[in-house]
Amino acid sequence: MKSKKLLGLALAASMVFSMCSCGSGDSAGSTTAATTKAASNNATTAAATTEAPTEKVVEKPEKITWWTHSGLNEEDYVKEWDAAFSELSGVTLEHTQVSNNEYYELLEIAFASGTEPNVFDLSADTKMAYYASQGGIADLTDLVKNSGIYDKVDPGVWESVSVDGRIYGIPGEMPSGAITYVRQDWLDKLGRKVPTNYDEFLDMLRAFKTEIPECKIPLTVPGLTSAQNLPEFYQDATPDLTIVNGQWVDGMAQDNMASALQRLQDAYKEGLIDMEAITNTTSACRDKWYAGEVGVFNYWAGKWGNTLQVNLQANNPNAYITGIDAIKETYYRYAGFNAYCISGRLSEKEVEQVFTYFLQVAFDGAEGQDLFYCGVEGLHRTTDANGNITYNNMKSKADSTFQSVWATPWLAVVPFDDPAKAPQPAEMVTITLDTLKVTGTYKPTMPVSETYNMVVADWTSVKQETIANIVMGKTTVEEGLANYKKQADTLGVAQILKEMNQ
Amino acid sequence: MKRTKEQKEQKLILSNKDKPLLKRMYKYRYMYFMYLPVFLIFLVFNYIPMVGILISFTKYTPFTKVPQWVGLQNFKQLFVSDIFWRSVKNTLIISSVNIVLSITTCVGLALLIDEIKTVWFRKVVQSILYIPHFISWVVVASIFTMILSPQEGFINGILQAFGQDPIYFLADSDWWRVCLWIIERWKGIGWGTIIYIAALTAVDGALHEAATIDGANRVQRIWHITLPSIAPTILVVFIMDIAKILNIFEPVWVLQNDAVLAVSDVIGTYVYRIGITNAQYGVSAAAGLFKSVISVVLVTIVNNASRKIKGEGILS
């Protein structure tokens, strides 16, 4: 026994010395050693090494830089969280919170100026393929497969964060999607049931408009170009690139788009859709909803379902809402996965270090994952004697509890070792997520197209302008779409589709 | 023969110019020392970044390690784009009207303020007029979006009180530019008067007294004395505004929406969309370079025209 311990110590010591003599890369000054299985403190590492001497040892980097654009507000103990993560991983975490609205612009400027973070998240459906093609993100396939994370996760998830069969990120949570919320108290007042088809949906909006005095806006929406936010009108159409019969096509050029735009135009003209849809921001729509002026609002399922209910009731105590099932002509749409990626500019060794001491800690199913999803004990959460975790009240909004830290525990992609002990969702959260699940459809990952990257901004403007002009009645559907086709041809949409379908 | 004062000054200038540069620099070393910080600031923040012009001749994305030289490819891409030329046209229309409105309203208001003889009241008026300048464009956009709202906006409330249909001002192509110009004036008019009020204080009061004795009324005095006196200032402001004519961005960006892109998309918003949102830095830099060249050309034309008409310009 004694000789075994001595052997273990000798092995650990030799590894420490060998690591020290290896030198270091940009952010990887070697200080100690750890196994890939448990990236924690030195004592644990040494013990783990003793028990499993064959496991690969990864040097600790000097620091890891990480960008976030959502999650905790700065005043909600972010510094304390960073310190706790640094302590747990044994690596200094340099965490920067950036504006959510400008996230990709700032990230790309950071890449252009060589100041990109080691870890950042990307939309898997719109950005991942482009970043991968440009060498902006590292191929994590082997690291994910060797870490044990791979086997804990549904293979379909890995497909969603893969480009050409290679995994480029780990999603923090299953994507959410938008469902349609309706004022149930108004339906009750009118003696109506929730609509199940488009005609009933329109009748409901008309009834809200004419028979509910406090209803100023039957349906509000921020902008008119998102099929996700206007599923009842777009139905099976979408202005985005989409797949038909296995081929990528321009959604705007499909036959179903004309009828979708006609429905939107008619409803807008009738005053059923918010007149200010074009200039509405998302927060403006939420404010109108909270004020109790709106009958229907399509918004995120999950946490937001609960928030929409609670904030509406704060101003209108008798109000209550329901997230309706998608009407028969349409379906709800999930947003794409958001995956944590590692900068492709790091060396292979540095990528492995960052993976080991950041992603593997955050998705370890245990202590690291508790910290990542539930926060710091005593600040963000409280753990009872049985190990059950509940969220505490926020510092920034004392009358509200946290509902997540950097990702939502009940949507975690990599499961907790004991999911029952993680914070549980409110009833409204579960109900709305279940509603979404019934018809929810995932977005396909877009392939890379050089031409698309060149013209996407102009193309998006042309689509937005076309839809706005048609819906507001400045042009007919036929004229608007014919004009769109001309502009799309000039921009080279045919070439984009050719490149995507290769 | 006794030399005149002018001849002496002329000789002094010539004798200085005859000296070697280093000697002259040594002689005026304290002047040069005082100028040094300004020179360094210009060098670091204005001239060295000009090397970035080269980006417009390269294929440059955020992930490019070594930019690939593509010659005039980015300019070609730009010049075949209808959306780019639409943005050029919108920029010229929006900015030209803005310059005319800016000069006329600011000069007019400065003349009115100049007529206020009660000092404390004049100061209060000036202070109130300056306040909008310090409000950020984002806040201004929010305020006017509410005021112009077709549903609960103040303006539409008045229209509806008179039995008119509400107008969605900010999403109506016919109204959007008008709204922008009005909002621009609301925000900038007070600040714009400062330079003219300063110029008005320098107008010789004796001229006004003489004109009054000769029977000139207030309008005649303004027309024949005040305006000609501040004409050089108006000219300087005009030429400087021309230099910035293509630079409009912020007010357009915060007030723009999908329904009015045809009349609101300007070079600034186009460059932002291509360069920052789309990360096509090469094309974006090409558009920026185009904008700068046109600005230089415009300033030179206006300056030359000014020299021909008035005998003076602000550039040498």
Distance in angstroms (rounded) separating the CA atoms of residues B305 and B302: 5
Reported ipTM: 0.77
Q: What sign results for the dihedral spanned by CA atoms B84, B87, B91, B92? A: positive
Is residue B221 within 8 A of residue B212, CB to CB? The reply is yes
CA distance A287 to chain B (A): 13
Answer left, alpha or beta for residue B283, where phi above 0 means left and psi between -120 and 50 means alpha: alpha
pLDDT-based confidence at A52, cuts 50/70/90?
very low
Contacts of B274 in chain A (CB under 8 A): 457-458
* Alpha helices, H only, B131-264: 137-147, 154-161, 173-201, 205-213, 218-221, 227-243, 250-255, 261-264
* Alpha helices, H only, chain B: 5-18, 21-27, 29-42, 73-79, 82-115, 119-130, 137-147, 154-161, 173-201, 205-213, 218-221, 227-243, 250-255, 261-264, 267-271, 281-310
Predicted pLDDT of residue B21: 85
Distance in angstroms (rounded) separating the CA atoms of residues A324 and B8: 94
Say yes or no: B165 contacts chain A, CB-CB below 8 A. no
Is residue B205 within 8 A of residue B74, CB to CB? The reply is no
B260 to chain A: nearest residue by CA? A465
Residue spans of chain B under pLDDT 50 = 1
Is residue A190 within 8 A of residue A211, CB to CB? The reply is yes
Q: Tell me which amino acid residue B198 is.
A: A
Phi, psi torsion values for A325, nearest 5 degrees: -65, 150
Is residue A175 within 8 A of residue A387, CB to CB? The reply is no
pLDDT average, residue stretch A270-294: 94
CB atoms within 10 A of CB A382: 13
pLDDT digits 0-9 by tens, B243-277: 888 889 999 999 999 899 999 999 999 988 888 77
B80 to chain A: nearest residue by CA? A490
pLDDT-based confidence at A264, cuts 50/70/90?
very high
Is residue B208 within 8 A of residue B268, CB to CB? The reply is no
- Kindly list the structural domains of chain A, giving each domain's residue range(s) and its CATH number in brackets, ordered by start: 20-174+337-374 (3.40.190.10), 178-333+444-500 (3.40.190.10)
User: Do A278 and B83 lie within an 8 Å CB cutoff?
Assistant: no
CA distance B219 to chain A (A): 45
Structure tokens at A283: 């927060």
Predicted pLDDT of residue B151: 87
Predicted pLDDT of residue A78: 96
Predicted pLDDT of residue B280: 84
B153 to chain A: nearest residue by CA? A276
> For an interface test with A, which of B58, B60, B63, B256 has the most A Cβ atoms less than 10 Å from its Cβ?
B63
Phi, psi torsion values for A245, nearest 5 degrees: 50, 40
Structure tokens at A72: 């905790």
Contacts of A224 in chain B (CB under 8 A): 258
CB atoms within 10 A of CB A444: 13
Residues 6+ apart with CB under 8 A from B166: A275, B150, B151, B153, B156, B159, B160
pLDDT digits 0-9 by tens, A451-474: 888 888 889 999 999 999 999 999
Structure tokens at A351: 């990528």
Inter-axis angle of helices B82-115 and B173-201, to 10 degrees?
A: 40
Contacts of B264 in chain A (CB under 8 A): none
Predicted pLDDT of residue A164: 84
Nearest by CB to B168, from A112, A275, A490: name it: A275
Closest by CA position to B233, among listed B92, B97, B94, B110: B110
Distance in angstroms (rounded) separating the CA atoms of residues A390 and A387: 10
Is the pLDDT reported for residue A46 higher than 70?
Answer: no
Predicted pLDDT of residue A276: 93
Residues 6+ apart with CB under 8 A from A275: A217, A268, B150, B151, B166, B168
Structure tokens at A477: 């559907």
Predicted pLDDT of residue B239: 85
Length of chain A: 502
CA distance B259 to chain A (A): 5
Contacts of A223 in chain B (CB under 8 A): 258
User: Do A112 and B281 lie within an 8 Å CB cutoff?
Assistant: yes
Region(s) of chain B under CATH 1.10.3720.10? 55-310
Structure tokens at B180: 């922008």
Say yes or no: A106 contacts chain B, CB-CB below 8 A. no
User: Do B261 and A464 lie within an 8 Å CB cutoff?
Assistant: yes
> Between vectors from CA A234 to CA A231 and to CA A239, what angle results, nearest 5°?
115
Distance in angstroms (rounded) separating the CA atoms of residues A182 and A195: 10
pLDDT digits 0-9 by tens, A308-354: 999 999 999 999 999 999 999 999 999 889 999 999 999 999 999 99
pLDDT-based confidence at A426, cuts 50/70/90?
confident
Contacts of B60 in chain A (CB under 8 A): 112
Distance in angstroms (rounded) separating the CA atoms of residues A175 and A80: 28
Predicted pLDDT of residue A400: 85
Chain position carrying tokens 């185009």 = B290
CA distance A93 to chain B (A): 24
Contacts of B166 in chain A (CB under 8 A): 275
> For an interface test with B, which of A99, A103, A108 has the most B Cβ atoms less than 10 Å from its Cβ?
A108
User: Do B171 and A278 lie within an 8 Å CB cutoff?
Assistant: yes
Nearest by CB to B62, from A111, A216, A279: name it: A111
Closest by CA position to B264, among listed B255, B277, B272: B255
* Alpha helices, H only, A21-121: 42-51, 78-89, 103-112
Distance in angstroms (rounded) separating the CA atoms of residues A492 and A458: 11
Structure tokens at A259: 């009828």
Say yes or no: B273 contacts chain A, CB-CB below 8 A. yes
Residues 6+ apart with CB under 8 A from B80: none
A274 to chain B: nearest residue by CA? B151
CATH superfamily of B55-310: MetI-like (1.10.3720.10)
Distance in angstroms (rounded) separating the CA atoms of residues B296 and B288: 13
Say yes or no: B280 contacts chain A, CB-CB below 8 A. yes
pLDDT average, residue stretch A123-152: 92
Is the pLDDT reported for residue A50 higher than 80?
Answer: no
A461 to chain B: nearest residue by CA? B258
